[in-house]
Amino acid sequence: MGEAPSTKPYLIRALHQWCVDHGFTPYLAVFVTEQVQVPMDYVNNNEIVLNISPDACQNLSLDNDWISLKARFAGVPRDIFVPVGNVMAIYAKENGQGMSFPVERVDPPTPESSLEKNPTISKGRPSLKLVK
């Protein structure tokens, strides 16, 4: 039997849902490398903290390999892409409860390569496919 898939994306989704369900603001701490697409003006010591609450972002996708969303920084809308391996923590702003993770040094498939494998996926936007 092969190596089991990582539990990290599942835990991120669960903690995000827990925050939202209980009225907390989910924050995502990210280690910034060349694979991360965020506004570099907001990066400090190769780290950025993102507010991923429904009020602060749009089109949030918490996929197994990538986290993507649209958010405004100083009023300017930006597309954000974060490999799940670069997530250092997800926690509630109000009380700090959450979970931290080791940063993984693995290059995930790029969003573009995911598009090539599955042309029904539109870049930066989640999509549904009817299966019969």
Domain borders along the chain are: 8-107
In this prediction, residues 19-31 reach a mean pLDDT of: 98
Q: How confident is the model at residue 3 (pLDDT cuts 50, 70, 90)?
A: confident
What type of residue is 102?
P
pLDDT at 111 over 50: yes
CB 45 within 8 A of CB 36: no
Q: Is the pLDDT of residue 120 over 50?
A: no
Q: For 8-107, which CATH superfamily applies?
A: SspB-like (2.30.30.220)
The model carries a pTM of 0.78
